Amino acid sequence: MLRTCRPSRPLAHASGPHAPLQLSRERDTLKAVADFAITAPTVRVKSEASVDSARPSLLVDYATLFKPRVSFMVLITAAAGLYLGRLRSGVSPFDLQSAFALLGIGLVTCGSSVLNQALERHTDGRMRRTAGRPMVTQPGCPARIGLVQGLFLGFLTIVVGTLLLSAESNILTGTLTLLTATSYVAIYTPLKRMTSLNTFIGAFPGALPPLIGWTAARGIIEWPAVALFAVLFVWQFPHFMAIGWLYRDDYRHGGIRLAATQQPIAWAARSTAMQALFYALLMLPVALWTTFLGVTGIPYAIVASLLSLAYLYFTFRFTAIIRDPSASGNRVLAKNLLKASVLYLPLLLAAMLLNAHGRVLFQ
C-alpha cells in the first residue's frame, strides 16, 4: 500500500537558515506523490491489458475443447475402415458420401471431447498437463468457457454428427457412433476416478472408429470390420500404459485410477509392464488377421510383422521399470514406447491401405 508523506507544518511557516532547502525537498516529495497518483491507473490498465492479451482466444479455446490431435487420430482410423469397406464393395472411397461420413464421425468425436472436459473440469485443474484447459475451474480463477456453454456445444455437435451419419450413411453407423460417444462420456469418464479397469473398458469405444468407418461403407458389421476393431483395441494398451507411467504423478494427484497409480509402486510397475507386454505380444497375430480374411495381401503381412516386432521390442524394453520402479531412466523408456506406438499405428494402416485387395479402377 502506498503511504503519502505530509509535512509536519505548513510550507509557509518554514523558517531558519535551512528553510529553502527543506521547502524544496517537500515540494519534490509532493510532486512525486502526485505524479504516481496520475500514472498508477495507467500502469494498472496496461498490466491488465497485457494479461488479457495473453489469454487464449475463443477460437483457440474451442480447438482445445475439440482435442484436435485425438480427433485427427480417430478420423484416420475411421477413414481406414471406410476406405477398405468401399474397396470391398467396389465403390470409390473418394466421393461426397465418404466426406459426409467422416464429417459426421468428426463432429461426434469433437462433441464427446467437449463433454469429457465438462465432466472432468475439476479433475483437470489438479493436473499440470490439463490445468490450462478452458473449462477448468479453480479458486479465484473462473473458467474461460462456462459449463452451460460447454454442454450446449458438446451435445449440439454430437446430435448434428449423429443425424448427418444416419441420413448420409445409414442408421447402423449413426447408432454405433452415438453409442461410442455415450460409452466414452457416461461410462469411461466417470470410471477413471473409480477403478483402474477404466483402461480396459475405455478401449472398447476407443477401438470402434474403424468399425464405424466400415459400416458407413457397407451398412453391416462383418469380420474384416471386427479385425480392424481388434487391431485398434490391442494397440491401445502399450500406448496408454506408457502414457500412464510417464504422467503417473500427475494422474495420482488428479485422482485418476490407473495401473501406474496403484500402491505400492512395485506393484504398479509390475502391473503396467505386464499388461503392456501381453498386448504387444497379442498384436503380432491380430495385425495379420486382415490378411487371413483376404482384405490385405502378403506384402502387408510382411510389413505388419516387422512393425509389430519393433513395437514388441520397445515394449519389452519398457518392462525394465519392474527392476527399479523409481529409477529416473524409466521416463525415457516410457517416452520411447509412446513414440513407437504413435508411429506404429499410422504406418500399419498405411501398409494396410496400400496393399488392400479391391478394385484399382473405381466405377
Asked if residue 298 and residue 192 are part of one domain, the reply reads: no
CA dist 308 → 228, 272, 358 (Å): 15, 19, 25
Do 245 and 175 have their domain in common? no
Could you tell me the three cell numbers for 43?
500502469
Looking at 186, 201, 221, the residue that finishes a domain is 221
Burial class (CB in 10 A: 0-12, 13-18, 19+), 70: middle
d(CA 79, CA 101): 9
Domain assignment present for residue 100? The answer is: yes
Query: What was the pLDDT predicted at 36?
Result: 46
Kindly report the average pLDDT of the chain as a whole number: 87
Q: Does residue 162 belong to any structural domain of this protein?
A: yes
Residue range 66-95: average pLDDT?
94
* Residue 4 lies inside a defined structural domain of this protein: no
In a shared domain, residues 106 and 139 = yes
User: Each residue of 104-129: pLDDT tens digit?
Assistant: 999 999 999 999 999 999 999 999 98
Q: Does residue 15 form part of some domain? A: no
Both 82 and 43 in a single domain? no
Task: Classify residue 62: in a domain, yes or no.
Answer: yes
The reply to whether 256 and 292 lie within a common domain is: yes
- Cβ pair 244, 269 in contact under 8 A: no
pLDDT tens digits, one per residue of 174-213: 999 999 999 999 999 999 999 999 999 999 999 999 999 9
Query: Considering Cα of 72, then 59, then 186, then 279, what sign does the dihedral take?
Result: positive
Residues 229 and 313 in one domain: yes
Q: How many domains does the chain contain in total?
A: 3
208 and 284 together in one domain: no
The amino acid at 182 = T
Helix ranges restricted to H, the chain? 19-54, 58-65, 68-89, 96-119, 121-124, 147-168, 171-182, 189-191, 198-218, 223-246, 248-254, 265-287, 289-292, 298-318, 330-354
Q: How does 124-163 read in b/e, with b if 16+ C-beta sit within 10 Å?
A: bbbbeebeebbbbeeeeeebbbeeebbeebbeebbeebbe
Instruction: Answer with the one of 221, 240, 268 that is the final residue of a domain.
Output: 221
Cα angle, residue 286 at apex, residues 282 and 290 outer, rounded to 5°: 170
Residue 307's domain comprises 224-358
Confidence of residue 137 (pLDDT cuts 50, 70, 90): confident
Q: Based on the domain organization, do 109 and 210 belong to the same domain?
A: yes
pLDDT digits (tens, 9 = 90+) for 290-326: 999 999 999 999 999 999 999 999 999 999 999 999 9
Joined together, the cell numbers standing for residue 34 give: 502526485
One domain for residues 93 and 210: yes
Q: Are residues 309 and 235 in the same domain?
A: yes
Q: Residue 227: is its pLDDT beyond 80?
A: yes
In a domain, 2, yes or no: no
CATH number for 114:
1.10.357.140
Q: Are residues 250 and 128 in the same domain?
A: no
Total length of the chain = 363
Question: 70 and 205, same structural domain?
Answer: yes
What residues have CB less than 8 Å from 89, skipping those under 6 apart? 217, 218
- Position 284 in a domain: yes
Task: Extract long-range pairs of 193-197: CB within 8 Å, 24+ residues apart.
Answer: 193/123, 193/255, 193/256, 193/257, 194/257, 195/257, 196/257, 196/258, 196/259, 196/261, 196/262, 196/271
Is residue 129, in this structure, part of any structural domain at all?
yes
* pLDDT reported for residue 342: 97
- At which of 202, 221, 240 does a domain end? 221
